[in-house]
């Protein structure tokens, strides 16, 4: 059973969607207040398979909610809104939504859209920001371009992508990546990361992806 986070302030629609989703074996946690939903998501990011998000909400606009979610997570987002203008749809996709349903719609259509998204995201490919990982083939793409990586470079980048926004010391990196022996006087790790930066088009002076943390190691910020 997969968990869905529903953010919908119309309680009648909230109850309807909760009941319908539960009939299709989804576990639903619903919020009418977006700030409460964001707080819950902050501590339970890995719990949810997908978010269903209304746009016309109290406290803050649904577009802002979508933007805040995307700053921290790649969890799929389906917009469920009475705002059906093409400009709203375009803006939603710009903010990182995966699909858009204009109310009124048949709840069955929501199920179809959710299942289609979940089939895609639970395939062998995993997306983190600009990067797409195929673990079976040990391949990583950036903006749909396949990177030509050595085994060590792949392992380092894979480690970064799975520890986004975490500071990783050189010792942690060496312990996680086979083939690197850590020595505080050895610059082997720095050399591999320099090569990796070149291949992903990153600039150490103005980093988009890999930030040096002086005296400690590195942090992936992309």
pLDDT score recorded for residue 74:
84
Determine which helix (DSSP H) or strand (DSSP E) holds 218, and give its type and residue range.
strand 217-220
pLDDT score recorded for residue 27:
94
How far is residue 197's CA from residue 188's CA, in Å, rounded to a whole number? 14
pTM passes above 0.85: no
Domain residue spans in the chain? 2-123, 126-220
| % of the chain beyond a pLDDT of 90 | 70
Q: Who has greater pLDDT, 50 or 121? A: 50
CATH class of 2-123: alpha beta
pLDDT band at 222 (very low <50, low <70, confident <90, very high): confident
Fold of 126-220: Arc Repressor Mutant, subunit A (1.10.10)
pLDDT digits (tens, 9 = 90+) for 167-177: 999 989 988 88
Instruction: Give, to the nearest 10 degrees, the angle between helix 34-43 and helix 62-72.
Output: 10
């Amino acid at each position: 059973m997969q968990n869905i986070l529903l953010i919908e302030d119309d309680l009648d629609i909230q109850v309807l969607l909760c009941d319908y989703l539960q009939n299709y074996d989804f576990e639903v946690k619903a919020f009418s207040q977006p700030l409460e939903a964001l707080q819950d998501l902050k501590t339970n990011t890995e719990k949810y398979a997908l978010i269903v998000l209304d746009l016309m909400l109290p406290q803050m606009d649904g577009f802002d909610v979508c933007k805040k979610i995307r700053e921290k997570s790649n969890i799929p987002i389906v917009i469920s809104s009475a705002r059906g203008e093409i400009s709203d749809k375009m803006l939603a996709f710009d903010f990182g939504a995966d699909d858009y349903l204009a109310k009124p719609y048949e709840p069955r259509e929501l199920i179809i859209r959710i299942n289609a998204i979940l089939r895609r995201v639970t395939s062998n490919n995993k997306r983190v920001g600009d990067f797409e990982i195929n673990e079976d083939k040990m391949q990583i793409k950036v903006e749909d371009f396949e990177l030509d990586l050595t085994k060590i470079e792949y392992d380092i980048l894979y480690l970064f992508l799975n520890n986004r926004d975490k500071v990783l010391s050189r010792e942690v990196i060496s312990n996680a990546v086979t083939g690197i022996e850590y020595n505080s006087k050895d610059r082997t790790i720095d050399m591999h990361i320099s090569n990796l930066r070149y291949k992903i088009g990153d600039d150490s002076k103005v980093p988009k992806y890999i930030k040096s943390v002086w005296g400690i190691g590195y942090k992936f910020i992309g």
